[in-house]
Structures are given as C-alpha cells and as structure tokens.
Chain A
Amino acid sequence: MSARSGWRAPRGVLVLGASTPLGGELCRTLLKDRSLGAVLAVGREPREQVRLPEDARLTYQRVDITHARPVHDMLFGAARDLGVDVVVHLALHRANDFGAPVHVQNVESLRWLLSLSDRHPTLRRLVFRSHAEVYRVERGLPSVITEDHPLELSPDAPQWVRDRVEADLLACAQMGMAAGLEIAVLRCAELLAPDEGSQLHDYLSAPVCLRSAGFDPMLNVLTLEDATEALRLAVYAGGTQGTFNIPGADTLPLSACIRLSGRLDVPVPGPLLAPIYEARRRLRGAQFSYRINRGRFHLAAVLDGTSARRELGYEPRHRVDWPSTRR
C-alpha cells in the first residue's frame, strides 16, 4: 500500500455503503493492507446478499442509516470497539427517487454522522464521496471545472441534485470546524458502472440514445477501479483535508460515449428530450432524468483533477471497458 511520508495510516476503516459495488471494491482493496487492523462494512442489506471477502478483520453490520439511533449505536459500539479512525461515506441514495426518506438518507444521515464524529473517541477522519453533478453547468462558466466552480444551487433543480449539493456543502462547511475531525470531499466524475446510481449508465442502457440535435458536449467518466483508488488514497491521506475533483481517464463527446456503448445515436430537437425521458422513466421505471442532465447534455463539463493529483497523488489510469471495443 503506497502512502506518502507524513500521511497518517488508518488503524480501522468504516465503510458506509459497503453493499454498493464501489463499497465492496473499497473493502477488498483496504483488506490487502495487512497493517490495517479492521474494516467495518456497513450496508442496508443482509450479509448474505453482499459480496464481501471472508477476512477475520472484516466486520459487516446491517444498519439503516435513515434512523439516528442505529447510526449512533454503530459508531459508539462496533466502530469504537474496533478502533475505527476513518469513515468513508458512500451511502447516498442511488435511485432517482424523491421524498423525505431519500432526503434523510442523503443529507440528515450525514449531518448525524458529522455531529457524532465530533465527539467520537476514535474517529479522526471522514472521506465523503460527492458527485460532479453538484457543479452548475451553464453558458458563461468554464468547461474545465475546478473545485471553486459554482455549485448548482437552483431551487428548480431536481431533488437528486439538491440533496447532493446540500450534503456536499454540509461536509465542506464542517471542514476545519470540528476540532478533531479531518474531512476530505471527493467530487467524483460520473462512475460508469451498474448499480452505482449512474445516470449516464442508465441512459446508455437503452438501445436508442436520444440527444439534443446540434450539441455534442465533452464528458468525463470514471471507472470503478479509479474511484476505488481515489478513495483509498483519501483514506490514507491522514493530515490532508479539502475538496478534490476526481476525474476519470475517459474524456470524450457524448456521441462517442453512445457509439462506444454500441447504442444508436439519434439527435432530436432539444425540447422533446425532457418529456420523452420522463415518459420512459414513468413507463419503464428507468432512472435517467433529462432534467438532472440537461446542462451536461448541452455544454462541456470536464473535471480538473489538479488538486487530487497534487494533494492525494491521484491519477486516473483505468479506461472504461466500452462494449464496442471488446473482442
């Protein structure tokens, strides 16, 4: 496990959202470090439904983080007993649902976590996985997005976006405020993988992909491997806090994304897209919402990863395994 000199190595890591593909992969990666004392994996599903490795240092707990008491008991029970000093939060609601329970999972649970971590006897560091969708994409704003780029604070934004922005701001606002807690917020590019709540993945799962005629914006997508590596580096970067963009190794136009996914690319007049995709969402139960992606489907928005490269040593290395390039 490579770690920079000066970084404080973790003793135990709590992974919230361990039942997601990214959470599982992170647990597996962390366990490769023989010096790591414990990994406390937390998910909503029963243990037998979660694909995690068998390892004496791995403890799985089924916790519903939408209730404050179980979160408290887990933190001041198993986490304290295992000497967990780093929490990785990956547990935002992945489906494009809305309503109060979703908001509680996305925002309130993080609020509890921050509040409890502040007085926790062993926790020292929180790594929060945020999303590139928190950034506002509109004309007049840079196409290459640095961490000081404006956030999407429009009240008209869908809850999917508003919750992510609120959670991100909540974590950022606590940065440097809590005496004994370091916070690293990783604003990850679109993670193009199944079961990760990727809007683009759902969009590309349809045999025909409609896009706005006359627009072919540049996108950046992330792989599971690179996202895991970014999180691992953030776990090990004890002493470093801040907000970091995590771009992927694939930067390409939307039309190329569609082509490489082996889908039919059909440009249609822009105003038709919202109703068509809303109908698809309602009728087919699809996740993709054109309202969430409107800006990125018209204007280039590519994350600048300079800070993550400089501070965390993160460099995207894994390209997406595009279906049309497989032999």
Chain B
Amino acid sequence: MNAQPAVLQSLLGRARRQLASRLLAEPLEHMRSIPFRDAGHGYDVFGYEPLHAALALAALEPVYRHWFRVRSYGVEHVPARGPALLAGNHSGTLPFDGMMVWTDIVLRRRRLPRMVADHFVSGMPFVSTLYARGGVVGGTAGNLRVLLDAGELLMIFPEGVPGISKPFRERYQLKEFRVGHAELAIRQRTPVIPVGIVGAEEQMPQLARVPVHAFGVPYLPLPLTPVPLPVRYHLHYGEPLHLHEGLRPEDADDPQVVQRAAERVRRAVQALVDKGLRLRKGVFR
C-alpha cells in the first residue's frame, strides 16, 4: 500500500493546526482557559474543540465589537459555574443573536454557552460540523440532560424557528414559547436566566421565505440586505428564575405546571426586551 498521500495529508493537517494555533494564539488561550470535558482526543463527546472555537471567536469578536457594537447589561447574573439555562428571544433571519450572546459570555464571563440548535441543523453539511466544533448541540432532551448533569451552561431560544422567521412588523413581539426548557429546569433543578436581545430584529428584515427544504431546513430566508445591517445590539440578562422552587422534580410531568413556568420565562424575557427598547436611543446607537 502506498501510504505517502496519507502521510502528506497528516503532515499538512498538523502544519495547518500549528499555524492556526500561532495565528489564533490569543483567542485560543482564552478558549483554553474555559474548562471542557475532553473525551480523550481533544474533543468533547458532542464534538466541541477549543481550536475551532478559537477560530469562531476570532471571527466573531470583530463583528461583536465593531459591527454590532454589542452592549450587555447584567452579565453577572450568569453563574460563574454550575448548570444553568439561558433563555432568550430569537430574531433576525440568521442566528447572529445566538452568536453575539455566545461571544459576550465567552469574553465577559469566561464560560462556554452550549447553544441549542433545532434538529434540522445537525443534518446540514459543513454547518453541522462547524457548529458542533463551537459547542452547539442538537436540541434533544437527552443531550440537554447530559450537559446539565455535567454542570454546563445552555443557551436556548424557546421560540424556535417561528421566532427567527417572524415578519418585520411583528418585531419584538415574542412568539409562543416551547416548554421543553421549563420542564428541564424543573426536573434538573436548574436556574433559568432570561435574556432580552434588542437590535437583532432590525439587522436583516426578511422579504420572503423560499420553500426550499434541502437537508431538512424549514425554508430558505430571503433577506432585504445580503449582510446584516450594523445595528447596535443590547443584551439584557435578567435575574435567575428558580422555576423549581416549591416544586418536586416529578412536577415536571404536569403539563400545566410546565406551561406556567414557560410563561413565566416568556414574561421575564419580554420585560427585558421592553426595557431594552425603552433604554436604547435608536436602532444604530
């Protein structure tokens, strides 16, 4: 067997990693300072890997600082360690809101928020791999339970796809919240930190949704602008909600209890969004 091409590929791969480690020295050092559960080969069981996360940080930090000029308030409400759920409003045609929250918490809190993606994301070539390397996980109860048991921080958008795809005229009006996060928070006795994201609604008004379902995507968005507008993001973190207080883990099976808990989270997020809208001086300021 001629193994030369494989050896060459391996050497090239190693050289590429070394070059990336050197070029990304600062973000890599930052990501390495955030602990993760290495499953043995530098990846965790979900595919997270610090070097790729450093690459994501290097790409997103300029967008965070100079394009969206993110301002965040109340980040101290995000616990420094231990399991927690962040629940925010979802909007903006493409998920820059999630990326900005990820960057904000990585930079300001030195924690890795595990963004929870819809099921279709894991079926998308390239996107699924890039997301997994950055710590994104598929939104199944089993995955989330494993992560919370391991004391990780999860970021969920309980509105799901209806949130990110709502028309411009409905901006900042939260869609109905799914209840899975509330059930999980009660069962796992985990605090929920509401996050109000202001700015994302105006970044990329959606003109239409093309009914293309390749790789399981629900639609193909047709935005007004090819790149997001340089709106200013305001991220408001609320005080932790302890949905499990006064409840037993088995109460998570009661649909009414869970519905009420999810509604409580929705109201908290809506209040933060309203506050953010009141405080901001303009879409771009």
Contacts and interface: CB of A to CB of B under 8 A. Distances in A.
Nearest to B124: A214
B47 interface: yes
Interface in B110-129: 119-120, 122-129
Given A262-B7, A300-B46, A251 B39 contact: yes
A135 B123 CA distance: 18
Interface stretch (B139-147, B173-181, B271-279): B139-147
Contact of B3 (A207, A215, A300): A207
Interface in B31-50: 39-41, 43, 45-47
Interface in B1-55: 1-3, 5-7, 9-10, 13, 39-41, 43, 45-47
A302 to B, nearest CB: 5
A252 B40 contact: yes
A28 interface: no
A276 interface: no
A214 B129 contact: yes
B137 interface: yes
Interface stretch (A50-58, A76-84, A142-150): A142-150
A298 B41 contact: no
Given A142-B143, A207-B6, A218 B47 contact: yes
B129 A216 contact: yes
B183 to A, nearest CB: 16
Interface residues of A, number: 37
B262 to A, nearest CB: 20
Contact of B1 (A140, A207, A220, A259): A207
Interface in A161-219: 207-208, 212-218
A139 B122 contact: yes
A250 B41 contact: yes
Contacts of B140: 140-143
A252 B143 CA distance: 17
B182 interface: no
B138 interface: yes
B81 to A, nearest CB: 21
Interface in A289-327: 298-300, 302, 304, 319, 324
Counting chain A CB atoms within 10 Å of each CB, the highest count among B7, B45, B143 belongs to B45
B82 interface: no
A250 B126 CA distance: 23
B216 interface: yes
B132 interface: yes
Interface of A: 139-144, 146, 149, 207-208, 212-218, 220, 249-253, 256, 259, 262-265, 270, 298-300, 302, 304, 319, 324
18 contacts: A139-B138, A142-B146, A143-B45, A208-B5, A214-B124, A214-B129, A216-B129, A249-B40, A251-B39, A253-B47, A256-B43, A259-B9, A259-B10, A262-B10, A263-B6, A300-B122, A304-B146, A324-B10
